[in-house]
Structure 1
């Protein structure tokens, strides 16, 4: 095992360790943002608000694919980090092998099921007569490329679990660069429109996955995949699904909430759907920065929890929350000042620009609160706290956002619709603090009991 990586996770000053683990992930996540922004930009250049709206309607499918992959990726990476902290390297390799096999099986099931039910899924997404064909084209290609999208996402998580954030970033960068190159070629040169954007996304994910497979096959990683180790192991399956299901439930609920939001938005017209889509894509810049820091903190928390260094675990969580909150305030300020200019980059339609600007200036109030939520959620996942992870996963989108979205839209119309998310996130951050610090208090109490027994 790489002693340099082990020392970083166990001994380096906490702030330094967070930045060293997180910056490559943030860079990688920024690369991931381009998957969405580049598609939005080039589709917007077509000058067709219906295709722009369709790409936003299809977004929940992309989110759902990553959520399903995250069941395995997040669950396995949490257990792998704890295994490495316990110096149980053989178990970590076995988890990696089993996770890989499960990913392939799940991907095949999703591909078949998605293609068989495409028409019904597109209707559920809220597509109208004007957007149905475009949405169906995009969604169909996403399902055909499920294996590439899902495995690419999950393999990046497995590499982060062993502390190799750089390889995870390189894989994402390869995919995004390919997407940036392929988008204009397929959309404009081959005149494929939204179909070209979907193909570029799938091909980009395929190339990123190819790099990950090469890294494992050539022994460039700490973890190893041994096909003969694949099989049923009650403990490993239990650890993977105990954390993976609650963690991915959050993303699934985000996808579900987006579908509901799109169905409400269509009541205000296709231009509102298009404007909201652009605003939400810009918001992913902030969201993915926070995801990068949360992903950087996760292996640090898991490793030190496995090593029973609870004081370091607590410091990692506290400093992670502070760092992401400061970044959130800065991003909210920038997005608020330059909202109109940012929206206009992606569409020449002035009505869409005006609507998108209004929506973006409402959504930015979420940014100071999202990072802390993500750090706390990934931390309880890393510690293997299934119940706490489940509560945090279902609370934001399921318990809070969807009811608030429906209620506020009825009570305050469009204003209530666009401010439902910021109100949700402010409440959620307080709730997340209560949950994570309760978990930490329980761990401190357990440690005191163990010391007294010794």
Structure 2
């Protein structure tokens, strides 16, 4: 690994190290936000609330593709960071090669299975007679594009695991530019409407994937992918899946929770579904900022934990939570003040704007608390704390949010429906901080095994 990267991971002041690794990553994540916002913006220009609602109904499919890819990406990234901390570069190179092979196989299986199940999935996601055709056309295109969508996401995680933030950002930026250029051409120029938005997204992700492949095979990375090393290795497979599966549970459950929320929202009308969809897309600005900071902290935590420098690990986590909490509070104030104007950027329907602004003002209560949760979960993954990562992954959207969503909607109708998420996140920040503190080693130690299963 390059000396400069080692210095940032090992010796740079913690605040500077977090910012140096996180800010480029946040910029890259903001590029990802544009994927969502640009599609929503151009679909909104069709002045068809049903298509706007369909885009939100289909969102869980995209989230599930990311979650499945994240099993490999998160698990391998965690192990790679710890291997690099232990100076085991041979094992790190084997891991990235095996992870790539697994990823290709899984994405092909998802493409075939998802394509065959698309009609039934559209119904199960909450599409009704008015939104079914648009929902179906969007999700079937997403499944056809499973390979570029999933592989680009996971390879971005693997790049970041070695501290190679810049190549990750360049790839993400390239894909977003391609998506922005193609959206109006396909949606309006070729009159493909919502299907055009889906195709533009897939082609954008393919552009990102091609750049990542170029970076790996043209020597722009520390680690090298060699498919000749793709073979069964019990230890590496175990490391990938023992961390990757719990790490991706949160995203999987987010997809399931979105399906549940959409099915409840349908009871309040398609305009509510459309308004909620726009509000949730705006909320991704905060979510992706926090993802950027947690991704920036990931190699820092993994490397220093691998080195046994526990005091530095603690400082990274503490300062990461403080930084994201301050950012979350600032975004909450901005979104609250300009809620109606922000929703109005994506639709001219007065009722959709009104519903969306109401939902957005409820959801922003979560923003000061989400970043800390992400830092805690990512830190558990980076340290190889599989059970902690699993508990945190299933708690937010599974154990807490969905039961609260159903209960509060039944008790308080629409108000209970929109405030279920903020209540969940307030509980989660307390729980995640306490759990991480409990399992954190008290003192620095000389050597930590790369495998610490279910502790």
Q: Under TM normalisation by the shorter chain, which class is it?
A: over 0.9
Q: Cα distance, 1:447 vs. partner?
A: 4.1
Matched residue, 2:116? 116
Matched residue, 1:140? 140
Matched residue, 1:362? 362
Deviations for 1:225-256, whole angstroms, at most 9, x for unmatched residues?
A: 11211101111011101110001011000000
Q: Distance in 1 between matches of 2:352 and 2:53?
A: 10
Matched residue, 1:170? 170
Deviations for 1:109-146, whole angstroms, at most 9, x for unmatched residues?
A: 00000011111111110000000000000000000000
CA separation of 1:227/1:359 partners in 2, compared to 1, >3 Å: closer, same or farther?
Answer: same
Q: Distance in 2 between matches of 1:160 and 1:231?
A: 24
Q: How does 1:304-453 map to 2 (within 5 A)?
A: 304-440=304-440, 443-444=441-442, 447=445
Matched residue, 2:261? 261
Deviations for 1:320-344, whole angstroms, at most 9, x for unmatched residues?
A: 0000000000000000000000000
* Structure 1 unaligned residues grouped into runs of 5+: none
Q: How does 1:150-169 map to 2 (within 5 A)?
A: 150-169=150-169
Matched residue, 2:50? 50
Matched residue, 1:230? 230
Q: Cα distance, 1:90 vs. partner?
A: 0.6
1:191 aligns with 2:191: yes
1:205 aligns with 2:212: no
Matched residue, 1:65? 65
Q: Cα distance, 1:219 vs. partner?
A: 1.0
Q: Cα distance, 1:3 vs. partner?
A: 1.1
Asked whether the equivalents of residues 66 and 150 of structure 2 are also in contact (C-alpha less than 8 Å), the reply is yes
Q: Cα distance, 1:444 vs. partner?
A: 1.9
Matched residue, 2:130? 130
Q: Distance in 1 between matches of 2:161 and 2:433?
A: 24
Asked whether the equivalents of residues 271 and 352 of structure 2 are also in contact (C-alpha less than 8 Å), the reply is yes
1:242 aligns with 2:242: yes
CA separation of 1:4/1:50 partners in 2, compared to 1, >3 Å: closer, same or farther?
Answer: same
Deviations for 1:204-242, whole angstroms, at most 9, x for unmatched residues?
A: 000000000001110110010112111011110111011
Q: Distance in 2 between matches of 1:439 and 1:178?
A: 44
Q: Distance in 2 between matches of 1:215 and 1:311?
A: 34
SS of the counterpart of 1:46? coil
SS of the counterpart of 1:232? coil
Q: Distance in 1 between matches of 2:445 and 2:82?
A: 17
SS of the counterpart of 1:346? coil
SS of the counterpart of 1:312? helix
SS of the counterpart of 1:47? coil
Q: Distance in 2 between matches of 1:430 and 1:87?
A: 35
Q: Cα distance, 1:446 vs. partner?
A: 8.5
Asked whether the equivalents of residues 311 and 443 of structure 2 are also in contact (C-alpha less than 8 Å), the reply is no
SS of the counterpart of 1:414? helix
Q: Cα distance, 1:448 vs. partner?
A: 10
1:20 aligns with 2:7: no
Asked whether the equivalents of residues 64 and 252 of structure 2 are also in contact (C-alpha less than 8 Å), the reply is yes
SS of the counterpart of 2:345? helix
Q: Distance in 2 between matches of 1:445 and 1:23?
A: 29
Matched residue, 1:105? 105
Matched residue, 2:275? 275
SS of the counterpart of 1:203? helix
Q: Cα distance, 1:29 vs. partner?
A: 0.2
Normalized against structure 2, the TM-score is what?
Answer: 0.97
Asked whether the equivalents of residues 306 and 447 of structure 2 are also in contact (C-alpha less than 8 Å), the reply is no
Asked whether the equivalents of residues 72 and 102 of structure 2 are also in contact (C-alpha less than 8 Å), the reply is yes
* Structure 2 unaligned residues grouped into runs of 5+: 449-455
Deviations for 1:80-108, whole angstroms, at most 9, x for unmatched residues?
A: 00000000001000000000000000000
Q: Give the aligned length.
A: 448
SS of the counterpart of 1:221? coil
1:75 aligns with 2:75: yes
Normalized against structure 1, the TM-score is what?
Answer: 0.98
Deviations for 1:47-68, whole angstroms, at most 9, x for unmatched residues?
A: 0000000000000000000000
Matched residue, 1:88? 88
Q: Cα distance, 1:445 vs. partner?
A: 6.1
